[in-house]
Amino acid sequence: MKSDVSGPVCFTSEEKNLIQDTHFFETKVRVTQKIKTLLHQLKPEIEKEARALKFLSPQGFDPENFQFVKGEHLRDFPYLYLDFPKHFNRTEKFSFRTLFWWGHYFIFSWILEGQYLDHYKKNLLTQYDVLSDQGLSILLTDTLWEWRKNPEFLLEIKSGNKKEVEDVLAGRPFLKIHRYLAFDQPSLLEGTLLEEAMDSFRKMSSIVQRDSGHGL
């Protein structure tokens, strides 16, 4: 945001009250630590689950690779995320991201691009009855890095729209599946966020598994 340096700097009453408030930042520190703890707890749980899966993963994939990231400016809001499994290069992407976006929601997402993209699409359609009506959506934007829950950005995987999903998949140069968890959900108060994350990972795992039909 460009600041106006030509006139006097004035604060509204709301801004004046806010800049005197230390409680918010103390709370932010506590919340951030809880999210860090959640992500650190999540990694070994996914790792344990992944051992039983046969990933259709790109060449050079390292099952031990992961990344924790903390930032302040995802559309001006703080965020933390875990990428695990994680494989990124210019043409290949194979990663499950658990993203906490302050002021918005949790997002659980598979990010997929490259050699086996057609197989991932085929898996999604083959498993459509299992995946539909589970709160999963396909990202429709031209970039992988859109996280907003705008209806025009997403196509829900639901009963009755398999043909629409199939048509959309045919032209996609990558595949990104989102599941959103709003902050008003009971799991935040009940201490079951880890279970929500693992449930999301399990729901989408069939998309990235190899099977005998692939001949791979």
Confidence of residue 1 (pLDDT cuts 50, 70, 90): low
Q: How many domains does the chain have?
A: 1
- Which of 100, 115, 139 minimizes the C-alpha distance to 55? 115
Decide: helix, strand or coil at residue 24.
helix
For the stretch 32-68, pLDDT in tens is 999 999 999 999 999 999 999 999 999 999 999 999 9
Question: Does the residue 83 lie in any domain?
Answer: yes
For the stretch 202-216, pLDDT in tens is 999 999 998 734 444
Question: Does the residue 63 lie in any domain?
Answer: yes
Question: Does the residue 7 lie in any domain?
Answer: no
- Show the domain range for 130: 13-214
Asked if 103 and 77 touch (Cβ cutoff 8 Å), the reply is yes
Question: Does the residue 3 lie in any domain?
Answer: no
Question: Does the residue 5 lie in any domain?
Answer: no
Task: Give the integer Cα–Cα distance in Å for 50 and 54.
Answer: 8
